A and B are shown apart, each in its own frame.
Chain A
Amino acid sequence: DGGITQSPKYLFRKEGQNVTLSCEQNLNHDAMYWYRQDPGQGLRLIYYSQIVNDFQKGDIAEGYSVSREKKESFPLTVTSAQKNPTAFYLCARLTGGGPLHFGNGTRLTVT
């Protein structure tokens, strides 16, 4: 998993409920990212964080929230304000001077 763990693999929620996706890294890297992927589509950036207690909105932050209280954890909350939350969510960490390493993803289904 490249030092980054996402859980759970599948998540089901009823419409109107908030849900939190977990992302943990064990390699002491600073920068972490959340992406959303819809079927047959590319990756769209939701939020990213380069240091603890700081994070920036990506291209599609509306309806999502994050926290970065610890370096190793970057959870994503999908709120009821997100109009179309069903998607595949990928968390990643950034290696210095190098690429993103991704977790295995969480498939969220909201009905």
Chain B
Amino acid sequence: AQTVTQSQPEMSVQEAETVTLSCTYDTSESDYYLFWYKQPPSRQMILVIRQEAYKQQNATENRFSVNFQKAAKSFSLKISDSQLGDAAMYFCAYRSGVENRDDKIIFGKGTRLHILP
């Protein structure tokens, strides 16, 4: 069974600095998707970034980028130029890419990110 582990329950970063959130996963599959979600105090789940496992290039969305290390099964999120609005809970998630497979999305336990002014 697949698992997703976020080893940092909480992190803090100074405004305008860069922070990296860690995520590791365990799977025997070669085809899958990985996601980072943000949950601000409003509790709305917002998709931040996605990565297809077959793509070697790391995904980037504005100030958000990932470091995808397939062999190491690592999928960290880097936030550059941190802003106060980035303060939230961040969840890493795994989805199988195998066709017809039971689509059970696996989430990590989350990392709470604090932005210090």
Give chain A's interface residues, CB within 8 Å of chain B: 31, 33, 35, 37, 40-43, 45, 48, 50, 56, 58, 88, 90, 92, 94, 97-102, 104-105
Determine if B91 and A45 form an interchain contact, defined as CB atoms under 8 angstroms apart: no
Give chain B's interface residues, CB within 8 Å of chain A: 33, 35, 37, 43-45, 47, 50, 91, 93, 95, 97, 102-105, 107-110, 112
Determine if A100 and B105 form an interchain contact, defined as CB atoms under 8 angstroms apart: yes
Contacts of B109 in A (CB 8 A): 41-42
11 A-B pairs with CB atoms under 8 Å apart are A35-B107, A37-B43, A42-B109, A48-B104, A88-B43, A94-B103, A98-B33, A99-B33, A99-B93, A102-B45, A105-B43
Q: Roughly how many angstroms separate A37 CA and B91 CA in the complex, as a whole number?
A: 12
Q: What distance in Å separates the Cβ of A108 from its nearest Cβ neighbour in chain B?
A: 13
- Known A33-B105, A42-B91, A45-B104; contact A98-B44, beta-carbon cutoff 8 A: no
Other A-B contacts than A94-B105, A97-B97, 8 sampled, CB-CB below 8 A, are A33-B105, A35-B107, A40-B112, A42-B91, A43-B91, A99-B37, A100-B35, A100-B47
- Choose one: A35, A40, A50, A105; the contact of B44 (CB below 8 Å): A105
| Interface majority SS (helix, strand, loop, mixed), chain A | strand
- Choose one: B97, B102, B103, B107; the contact of A43 (CB below 8 Å): B107
Determine if A98 and B50 form an interchain contact, defined as CB atoms under 8 angstroms apart: yes
Q: What distance in Å separates the Cβ of A30 from its nearest Cβ neighbour in chain B?
A: 9
Q: Roughly how many angstroms separate A41 CA and B108 CA in the complex, as a whole number?
A: 10
Contacts of A100 in B (CB 8 A): 35, 45, 47, 93, 105
Determine if B47 and A99 form an interchain contact, defined as CB atoms under 8 angstroms apart: yes
Among B37, B45, B47, B102, the one with the most A-chain Cβ atoms within 10 Å of its Cβ is B45
